[in-house]
Amino acid sequence: MTTAAVIVAAGRGSRAGGATPKQWRRLAGRMVAEHTLAAFRASPLIGPIVLVVHPDDREIAAPLAAEDVMLAEGGATRADSVRAGLEALAPAAPRHVLIHDVARPLASAALIARVCAALEAGATAAAPGLALSDALWRGSGGEVAGVVPREGLFRAQTPQGFDYRAILAAHRAHPGGAADDVEVARAAGLAVAIVEGEAQNLKITTPGDFARAELHLRGRMDIRVGNGFDVHRFTEGDHVTLCGVRVPHGRALQGHSDADVGMHALTDAIYGALAEGDIGRHFPPSEPRWKGAASRIFLEHAVALAEAHGYGLANADVTLICEEPKIGPHAGEMAATLARIAGVEAGRISVKATTSERLGFAGRKEGIAAMATATLVRP
C-alpha cells in the first residue's frame, strides 16, 4: 500500500513579506508550491498527494491539481488544515502519510526516503531533525542571561511521517494549539523516531529566506541539450530562405513548407531537447495547411512548448553546410532573426557556415544541409 502525502499550503505567511502568500510567490522561475509538489511527485515512494489551500487561493492553486494531486480547503489553524488533508485521504486509506510544510521547497528525495524507511521499519511516527551545533543563550534586557545546554536538542523539520490511522485519530482528539504534528502524535501517546534532517531543507519564513532557497535551487538546474539536422535540395527559383532571412540566389530550396533548412534544424534541436520528436510530429507534411508555411511558425511552437515545460532557451548554434550562396554576409542578420523569433538576446544565438570541401550532395551544389544544437535550462 502506498504512502500518501499532505502538503499544508493554507497559511498567509505574513512574516515573509509581500502582498502574495509565500507559497504562491515565484522562486527560481516557479511558485514555491510548485517546487514543493515536484519534490514529492518525483518520489516513487509517494502515492496520492493532498495540497491543502486557503479557500481564497482555490483559483491560483487549481492548475496544480492533477491525477495524483487533489486540493482540499484548509481551516483557521495549521492543525485544522492538516486534519482537512488527512480527512481528504480517507477514501484512499493509505497505510502511511507524510505531512509537509509547503514553505519547505528543498526537501530531497533522500530525506523523503529516510522518513518512509523508518515507517516501513515499524515506527508509528518518524520525523527529521537536525542536532543543534551552535551555543544557546538565554537573553534578558538585551544581554546574555545564561547558557542553555544543547545536548539532546534538535531543530524540527518536515516531512513528518505517521501511521495514517494513528495520526488521523490523534488529530481528531487533539484540542488544538500544537506546534507541529509531532506534538499532536506525542499527545496521543505515539512514539516518534528521529531521522537525520538536512541543512538545506530550510523553511521560508522571512524575506531573506527566498534568496537562500534560490541559491540552492539554482544548483539543481535542469539542463537539456538537443541536436537537429535537416537537408533540402535545390529547385528552380530566385532566392533561398535561411534562418528567416531571404537570400538572393539562382535557385530555391524545395520543401513542403518554405524549406528554411536552418530554422528546421534549430526547431528539431529544441524538440529533441524536450524529447518531443521533430517537426513532422507536430506539423505533419501530409496536412495541406502546412504547405508553403513560414518556418517561424514551427520555431515559435517549439519555443512555446519549451516554456510550457518550464524551460528557457539558453543558447543555440546553427551551422549551414553549402557551397553556395555565401552565408557570411548574412550570418549576423540570421542570428538576430532567430533570436527575435525565439524571444532571446541576440548574443545567445550563433549562425555560421561551412562547406563540405566539394564532397557529397552539398559539394556538388545539389542542396543545403544544416545542423543545430540547442541548450534548454529549467531553474
Q: Nearest 10 degrees: CA dihedral of 378, 281, 64, 215? A: 0
Topology, domain 3-218: Spore Coat Polysaccharide Biosynthesis Protein SpsA; Chain A (3.90.550)
Percent of the chain topping pLDDT 90: 86
Q: Which grid cell is 239?
A: 532566392
- Per residue in 27-44, pLDDT (tens digit) is 888 899 999 999 999 999
Q: Is 259 left (phi over 0), alpha (psi -120 to 50) or beta?
A: left
Residue 23, number of CB atoms within 10 A of its CB: 31
As a whole number of angstroms, the distance between CA 195 and CA 30 comes to: 29
Identical fold for domains 3-218 and 222-378, yes or no, is no
Residue 310: the pLDDT is 87
State mean pLDDT over 320-343.
96
Range in 6-20, 68-82, 89-103 the model is least confident about: 6-20
As a whole number of angstroms, the distance between CA 210 and CA 103 comes to: 10
Distances (CA, A) of 124 to 92, 120, 165, 250: 19, 9, 10, 79
State mean pLDDT over 137-159.
95
Burial of residue 336 (number of CB atoms within 10 Å: 0-12, 13-18, 19+): middle
List the chain domain ranges: 3-218, 222-378
Q: Which residues contact 187 (CB under 8 A, 6 or more apart)?
A: 170, 174, 178
Residue 122: the pLDDT is 96
Q: Is the pLDDT of residue 353 over 90?
A: yes
Q: Is the pLDDT of residue 324 over 80?
A: yes
Q: Give the per-residue SS3 of the chain.
A: CCEEEEEEECCCCHHHCCCCCHHHCEECCEEHHHHHHHHHHCCCCEEEEEEEECHHHHHHHHHHCECCEEEEECCCCHHHHHHHHHHHCCCCCCCEEEEEECCCCCCCHHHHHHHHHHHHCCCCEEEEEEECCCCEEEEECCEEEEEECCCCCEEECCCEEEEHHHHHHHHHHCCCCCCCHHHHHHHCCCCCEEEECCCCCCCCCCHHHHHHHHHHHHCCCEEEEEEEEEEEEEEECCEEEECCEEEECCEEECCCCCCCHHHHHHHHHHHHHCCCCCHHHHCCCCCHHHCCCCCHHHHHHHHHHHHHCCCEEEEEEEEEECCCCCCHHHHHHHHHHHHHHHCCCHHHEEEEEECCCCCHHHHCCCEEEEEEEEEEEEC
Q: Against a cut of 0.75, is the pTM above it?
A: no
Burial of residue 349 (number of CB atoms within 10 Å: 0-12, 13-18, 19+): buried
Q: Which grid cell is 145?
A: 542571561
As a whole number of angstroms, the distance between CA 123 and CA 183 comes to: 16
State mean pLDDT over 69-89.
96
- Per residue in 187-197, pLDDT (tens digit) is 999 999 999 99
Residue 379: the pLDDT is 65
Percent of the chain topping pLDDT 70: 98
Model confidence band, residue 17 (pLDDT cutoffs 50, 70, 90): low
Range in 106-120, 157-171, 207-221, 338-352 the model is least confident about: 207-221
Q: What is the mean pLDDT of the chain?
A: 94
Q: Is the pLDDT of residue 259 over 90?
A: yes
CATH code of 222-378, in short, is 3.30.1330.50
Q: Is the pLDDT of residue 1 over 60?
A: no
C-alpha dihedral sign at 337, 338, 341, 342: negative
Is the CB of residue 16 less than 8 Å from the CB of residue 210?
A: yes
Q: Which residues contact 84 (CB under 8 A, 6 or more apart)?
A: 52, 72, 73, 74, 75
Residue 220: the pLDDT is 67
Model confidence band, residue 222 (pLDDT cutoffs 50, 70, 90): confident
Q: 222 or 373, which is more confident?
A: 373
